[in-house]
Amino acid sequence: MSSLRVSRIGDTRDQLGESPVWDDRTQRLYWIDSLAGTIHRLDPVTGELLQFHAPSPVGSMVLRHDGGAMLALQHGFARYDFEQGEVASSITGIGCDHPKVRLNDGKVDPFGRFIAGTMHHGRAHDEPALGGLYRLQAGVVTLLDTDFGVSNGPCFSPDGAILYFADSARRSIFAYDYRRDGPPANKRLFADTSALNSGPDGATVDADGYLWSVLVRAGALARFAPDGRLDRTVELPVKHPTSVAFGGPNLDILYVTSISKSTTLSATEPDAGGLFAIEGLGVRGLPAYTFTAD
């Protein structure tokens, strides 16, 4: 294994850094500050950093195949135009306007559709979880599953046949059989992160089919084998990392976002809220899918 190196990139300090995504076409990294409504775009070679404003909170962002992005906003999805620096379409609602439920983490599936889950924040322990898993396709939102406290970490096996999806509140990562038609099926527990002292947060799958999950309360990442076995952990220099994406020309750099002060977590270390790059992991990622399902 190569020598591992974790370094902070730039000096951004997000309240709630989230949703990193590598654009393989332009070799740029995007990520968001969910609470500030900021979209960052970084060219790692030149160091150029551009920032765009969006309505907050932004749960997640994915890239469109024809340019621009799709955003998961509080209660719906919308297209974002980087040239205009604004939301470029009306919001497609998810059919839920509960004040304590909002869209959170999301990714594009192998068929070009936007998959995102909701989180039910401020929920009492005896209150039913109202979070769900949604899919956007051709302007239509479909509810795929329910009963989630804090949805996070959607990602797919290299062949696209398995959807991984986490409930941070339950400290659980689930796996589903996934296909183009019909809802996800055969839901089962993939990994329980209780022994790692954290719920799972953002996640991605590498080219070997191993899942990388952020341990948001433990300052670390966990890599799980395709059978759910814990393969390794990587310590980070911040208390509350949030999400991950592979990037770089060879997709062998793992970028990590983090929290300085979210609605539930805060950290005082100087690098809290920063963006980090991990090199020397000895693995490569997969290109991110782009949204095509208009």
- Residues annotated catalytic, as ranges: 201
Burial class (CB in 10 A: 0-12, 13-18, 19+), 289: buried
Could you tell me which residues come within 8 angstroms of residue 84 by beta carbon, excluding any fewer than 6 positions away? none
Map tokens 């899919």 to a residue: 135
Could you tell me which residues come within 8 angstroms of residue 6 by beta carbon, excluding any fewer than 6 positions away? 234, 236, 237, 276, 277, 278
Burial class (CB in 10 A: 0-12, 13-18, 19+), 48: exposed
> Pairing between strand 211-215 and 49-53?
unpaired
How far apart CA 229 and CA 216 sit, in angstroms, is 19
Angle at 74 between CA 220 and CA 92, to 5 degrees: 125
Both tokens assigned to 162: 């398995």
How far apart CA 39 and CA 152 sit, in angstroms, is 19
Residue 68 DSSP one-character state: S
